[in-house]
Structure 1
Amino acid sequence: MSHSDDLLWGAVAGISRFAALLTMAELGLADHLAHGPLDAGELARRCGAHAPSLRRVLRELAAMDVVRPAGRDGYDLTAKGVALRSDVPDSVRSAIRMLGEEGFWYAMGNLPATVRHGSSAFVERYGHLYDHFAANPAVSGVFDDYMRRRAVPFTEGLVERYAFPATATMVDVAGGKGHILARVLRANPDMRGILFDLEHVAGRAAETLAAEGLSDRAEVVPGDFFVSVPAGGDVYLLASVLHNWDDADAVRILRNVRRAMKPDGRVLVLEVVLPDDQAPHLGKDLDMRMLAIFNGGVERSRDEYAAVLRQADLALRAVVELGSGASLIEAGPR
C-alpha cells in the first residue's frame, strides 16, 4: 500500500476512532478511571452505559492506547488517556465533546452541501453559531471550556514572546470571559485593560477579572464592534476574532479599531496564519471547520491579513510565532 493510500484509509478509519474518543469524553470514562482500573461492567454502571456496547468501544480505545486491559475484564487509563480527564490542565475532553456536538457533527458531515451551494448548511439549520450557543447553554459551556483550554498555550506564548508597552492600556476586543486579558495584566503589572464584548458576555468577564484581583486595573465595557470600540487605547487585541468574518466584515471591525486607537497605537491580531506552501498545517484543518460552520469565516495567510489590514488603513509590521500553531500579527497606522 502506498503512502497516499495510507493517508486516505487512515482518514476513513479516523471517523470510527474519533467516535470512540467522543464516547469516552461524553461518558466521562477517564474521570471514572482516574483512581485506578475498573471492571468493564462496573465502569458501565458508573457512567450509565450498556455494558456489552461499552466493551466494544473499550476494545477500540485500547487499540488507540488511551486505555489498556487490566485483569480479565478490567481497563485502566494509559498516560495518553489521562488527557481525556476533565481535571487536568491540558485536558482535551471539551475539545472532543465540542467537535462531536450535534451541530458541529452536522456541519462537518454536510460540508459537501456547503461547498455546492456556497453557504453553510450549519447556518441554514441552526443559525449563527453564537445564536446556537445562546439557545443551548450546555453546549455553550462546553465551548467556553474548550476555548479557555485552547487559549492557554497561545496566551503563554503571548506574554513570553511579545514585549508590551510597560504602562499601556490594552483593549481586548471581543475578549470573552477575560482570561487572556487577565494573563497579560498579571505579567505586566503597570498595564491597564479594557475588556470589550457583547453585553451578555461582559458580566461573566467582570467576574473573571474580579476573581483574579484585577478589578482596579481593568474595566468591562459592553458593546458591538461593528458599531464602535472603546477609544484611546494604546494596544488593541483581537484574539480569534477576525477569522469568524469575511473580508468585508473584518475590515469593518478593523476600521472601528483604527478610528478608536491613539495615533501611535498598535493592533495585535492573534490567529492561526496559513503557510504559503502545500504542507499539512493546523490552519488548513481549522479552515474546513470555519467553512462548515460560518458564512464567511476563514483562516488567512500573512499576505491576506496584510491586505485586510491595509483596507482599514493599517500596516502589518511583524508576525510573532506563539507556538501551538498560533501567531501574533502586529500592525499600526499606515
Structure 2
Amino acid sequence: MPHSDELLWGALGDISRFAALLTMAELGLADHLAHGPLDTSELAVRAGANAPALRRVLRELASMGLVRTAGPGAYDLTEKGTALRSDAPDSVRSSIRMLGEESFWYAIGMLPATVRDGSSAFVKRYGHVYDHLAKNPASSRLFNDYMTARAAALTEGLAKRYAFPPTATMVDVAGGKGHILATVLHANPQMRGILFDLEHVADHARRTLAAESLAERSEVVAGDFFAEVPAGSDVYLLASVLHNWDDEDCVKILRNVRKAMNPDGRVLILEAVLPDDEEPHLGKDIDMRMLAIFNGGTERSRDEFAALLSQADLALTEVVELGSGASLIEARPR
C-alpha cells in the first residue's frame, strides 16, 4: 500500500501527465512519428507546434514511456505509444481527446462546485450533454469516437461471455451507431436485431448495419425511450444508458421495457457495477465524470441495480463480468 504522501503527490502528477498525454493526442504526435524518429524541430513543423514548448512535453512523454530519445533532439515512438496512433486497432487517441475537450475539462475542474450544491456545473454552463453535443458537431464526433472505442472491448466480451437465445430478436435501446448490435448479430447468426434511438442517430445506424451486411437481419426504429420502446421482442439491451439518468428516470425507462418485452423475455444492462468494498475500480473513476457532467447520472452497485429493477417488476438474475471495469446484468420478469 503506497504511503499517503506518495498517493497524494502521485495524483497531482497525474494531472500533468494527462495534460502531456492530451497534447500528444491533440497534436497527433504518434501519427507523425509512426514511420520513424524525427528531430523535434521537424516534428513541431508537422504538428503545428512551438518547438521549445514541444520539447518540454516530449521530455514528459519520454518519462511515461510513450516516446524515447533517438539521438540529439530527436524522438521515436515506443510500442506503448502506438496506442495513440489514429490507425491503431485499439487506439485511445479519441478517448483522450474527448476527456480533454473544453466542456468536459471544465466540468472536471468544477467538480468541487458541483459537489457543494449537488448540481452539475457543466449543465449550468452548457446544458444537457447530449443537447450540447448536438449543437457542436466537432465535439459530437469526438464523443462518438470515444464511445465506439470504449464499447469495442466491452462488446467483444458481451458476445463471447453471454449465451443469447439462438433465434431471439434483440432490441438495442439507445443503440447509437449500431456497433454493439452488429457484433452480437455476427456472433449469433440466427438472431435478428432492432436498433432503437433518436431520429438524428438513426441514419448512422442504418449505414453501420448495411456496411456490416446486416440490413436483412435488422431494422432501425426512431423514438424516445421515455415514451415507449419497440414491443414484442425477446431481449432488450441497455448499454451505457441507465448511468446517464437518476433513479426516477431509470425506472421510467425500465418500466417501458418491461411493458414491451415478451413474457419470457430478458433485459440486459451493460454498465459498471460498483463493488461494495473500498478497492479501486474503474467504475468509481467513471462515476466522478458522471457526477461532473450529469444531473442525476451515476454508476451503481449490484444492490442499487436490483432496487431499480424491482420497481419495474423485474428481478436481477445474473451478473457477468466482462472485463475493462464493465459487467452485464441480466434481469427477467418477476
SS in 1 for 2:254: helix
Return the alpha-carbon distance in structure 2 between the equivalents of residues 60 and 189 of structure 1. Answer: 48
1:201 equivalent in alignment to 2:212: no
- Once structures 1 and 2 are overlaid, which stretch shifts more, 192-201 or 82-91? 82-91
Shift of 1:95: 1.0
2:76 aligns to what? 76
**Identical amino acids, percent of aligned pairs:** 78
Distance 2:211 2:90 in 1: 22
Count of residue correspondences: 334
- Correspondence list, 1:257-272, <5 A: 257-272=257-272
Q: Secondary structure at 1:278's aligned position in 2?
A: coil
- Quick one: which amino acid aligns to residue 211 of structure 2? A
Partner of 1:116: 116
Look up the match of 1:54: 54
- TM-score, reference length from structure 2: 0.99
2:64 and 2:159 map into 1 onto residues whose CA distance is 35
The 5-angstrom pairing of residues 7-26 of structure 1 reads 7-26=7-26
Correspondence for 1:313: 313
Deviation at 1:135, TM superposition (A): 1.0
Aligned-residue offset at 1:149: 1.1
Residue 283 of structure 1 deviates from its aligned partner by 0.6
Amino acid at match of 2:252: R
State the alpha-carbon separation in 2 of the partners of residues 86 and 273 from structure 1. 30
State the Cα distance separating 1:90 from its structure 2 match: 1.1
- Residue equivalent to 2:304: 304
Instruction: Measure the CA separation in 2 of the matches of 1:89 and 1:313.
Output: 41
Structure 1 length-normalised TM: 0.99
Q: Is 1:233 the counterpart of 2:257 in the alignment?
A: no
Shift of 1:146: 1.0
- Cα deviation, residue 4, structure 1: 1.2
Matches within 5 A, 1:127-138: 127-138=127-138
- What secondary structure does 1:36 align onto? coil
Letter of the 1:118 partner, please give it: G
Offset from partner CA, 1:247-304 (integer Å, 9 cap, x none): 0000000000000000000000000000000011101101000000000000000000
Q: How far does residue 328 in structure 1 lie from its aligned partner after superposition? A: 0.4
Q: Provide the C-alpha distance between the structure 2 equivalents of 1:99 and 1:126, rounded to a whole number of angstroms.
A: 16
Q: Which amino acid counterpart does residue 304 of structure 1 have in structure 2?
A: E
Give the secondary-structure state (helix, strand or coil) at the position aligned to 2:215. Answer: coil
Taking the aligned partners of 1:155 and 1:255, their CA distance within structure 2 comes to 25
Cα RMSD between the aligned structures?
0.9
In the alignment, the residues of structure 2 paired with residue 247 and residue 74 of structure 1 have an alpha-carbon distance, to the nearest angstrom, of: 53
Which residue of structure 2 lines up, in the alignment, with residue 281 of structure 1?
281
Please list every run of 5 or more consecutive structure 1 residues that lacks an aligned counterpart in the other structure.
Answer: none
Paired with 1:165 and 1:296, the residues of 2 have a C-alpha distance of 34
1:171 aligns with 2:171: yes
The residue aligned with 1:216 is 216
Question: Are 2:6 and 1:6 aligned?
Answer: yes
Query: 2:162: which partner in 1?
Result: 162
Q: 1:153 offset after TM fit, Å? A: 1.1
C-alpha separation between the residues in 2 aligned to 1:69 and 1:135? Answer: 42
Structure 2, unaligned runs of 5 or more:
none
Deviations 1:185-205 (A, max 9, x none): 001010000000000001110
Alpha-carbon offset, residue 89 of structure 1: 1.1
For the residue of structure 2 that corresponds to 1:216, the secondary structure is: helix
Deviation track 1:189-239 (CA, whole Å, cap 9, x = no partner) reads 100000000000011100000000000000000000000000001000000
Q: Distance in 2 between matches of 1:150 and 1:291?
A: 19
